[in-house]
Amino acid sequence: MGIAERKNREKQALRERILDASRRIVVREGFAALSMRKIADAIEYSPATLYLHFENRDEIARALCTEGFAQLLDTLKPHLSIADPAERLKALWRAYVAFGVAHQQTYQLIFMEDPTYVGAAFASARDAGDDSGDAAFRLVADALDELKAQGRLPETADSEVWTEALWATMHGIVALRLTCPVFPRAPLDTVVDAALDAWLGAHTVRASDPPEPRKPSGKSSRAPHKRAAGVPASIAKPKTPHT
């Protein structure tokens, strides 16, 4: 191993130590507790050393966001083997919600802390050719495309828009559980399945089943006589002509 290669490995190893220490601080104390000095103390280096690898705390946060998306993608991938796209969607979203609840600090850092971190994480991942966030998005969109191809969703359904709508729904479930632990009261898998059954079921019915004809009520379809507003009934009621 040459000197340059060894130095590069040492630099990469120290970068990983910085991120590991940062992750532990965020998980244990929350993102607000993260500081360059606290990270430096954790790895027993001077704060100046950290600035050789990261410009500031925000850059570390963006790196943690990128890692978080990769973790999320790894959590979702095992469910790709499910053949039925509707069942696959349920499994994907159950796994998504479980990830958010089990990795609270990571999830909050990705989706609930600072939107600039998420945007920067997506941008840096695309530049590196490893966009885990977009890949996770595609897993859901592809399942919706399969449902549409099978005639189980309207042909006009835009899979990307529907994915955004479903993602927003599932994010709401996670956010509620993280910020209000007593709600939802039902098991989260049950809530996820109910949301998807209601959401997809409504669209499936609308796409495939024609509306049922209205049954006659047996009553006259003739509209009742209406009097003008403010006119007494005795005046508004038509008089029977005398013969």
Q: What is the CATH number of the domain that holds 82?
A: 1.10.357.10
- Distance between CA 61 and CA 48 in Å, rounded? 18
Domain membership flag for residue 196: yes
Same domain for 134 and 49, yes or no, is: no
Domain membership flag for residue 221: no
Q: What is the CATH number of the domain that holds 45?
A: 1.10.10.60
32 pLDDT band, cuts 50/70/90, is confident
Domain membership flag for residue 229: no
Residue type, 142: D
Same domain for 77 and 184, yes or no, is: yes
Work out the percent of the chain whose per-residue pLDDT is above 70: 76
Domain count, the chain: 2
Domain membership flag for residue 86: yes
Question: How is residue 79 written in tokens?
Answer: 């469910």
- Out of 54, 83, 98, pick the residue that ends a domain: 54
Domain membership flag for residue 192: yes
For 9-31, the pLDDT digits (tens) are 889 999 999 999 998 998 888 88
Same domain for 187 and 147, yes or no, is: yes
Mean predicted lDDT score pLDDT of the chain = 82
Domain that holds residue 37: 1-54
Kindly tell me if the per-residue pLDDT of 240 is higher than 70: no
Domain membership flag for residue 161: yes
For 56-108, the pLDDT digits (tens) are 998 898 888 888 889 999 999 999 999 999 999 999 999 999 999 999 988 98
Same domain for 144 and 42, yes or no, is: no
Kindly tell me if the per-residue pLDDT of 217 is higher than 70: no
Same domain for 48 and 8, yes or no, is: yes
For 121-179, the pLDDT digits (tens) are 666 656 655 678 889 999 999 999 999 999 999 989 999 999 999 999 999 999 999 99
pLDDT given for residue 213 in this prediction = 52
Nearest Cα neighbor of 67 from 15, 139, 132 is: 132
Same domain for 50 and 70, yes or no, is: no
Burial code of 209-231, b = ≥16 C-beta within 10 A, e = fewer? eeeeeeeeeeeeeeeeeeeeeee
